[in-house]
Amino acid sequence: MVQEFIEVDDAGTFRLVAEHAPLVIRRDPYLFAQYFSAMVYINMAKLDEREVKKLFDLLRGKMIIVKSLVKASSISDFLEKVGKEGEGQGT
């Protein structure tokens, strides 16, 4: 389980880690890449537009975009929380 979050501010440094990670998680404005028990992240808002585009082009096949986050202690807890969120949507 990840216990350390390491911020980098250089796109090249993040790219070195991200190339070895199986997935890159995007939750704007951050990109996350797991490296062993550490999660390395970069704040894209601090990068210039060209650097962000280069990262997106390089990591396109590895990147997943997070729509929402649910904190739950078990699958049943997760299903209960997701069910409550969906009740008000009139499906």
Write the pLDDT tens digit of every residue in 39-54: 999 999 999 999 999 9
Q: What are the domain boundaries of the chain?
A: 4-87
Pick from 21, 23, 49: nearest CA to 35: 21
- The predicted pLDDT at position 91 comes to 44
Q: Is the dihedral of CA 42, 46, 48, 49 positive or negative?
A: positive
**pLDDT mean over 66-90:** 83
In CATH, the number for domain 4-87 is 3.30.720
Rounded to two decimals, the pTM is 0.79
Burial string for 47-61 (b: 16+ CB within 10 Å, else e) reads beeebbeebeeebee
Residue 6 has pLDDT above 90, yes or no: yes
Residue 28 has pLDDT above 90, yes or no: yes
Q: In DSSP terms, which residues pair with 35 in a beta bridge?
A: 38
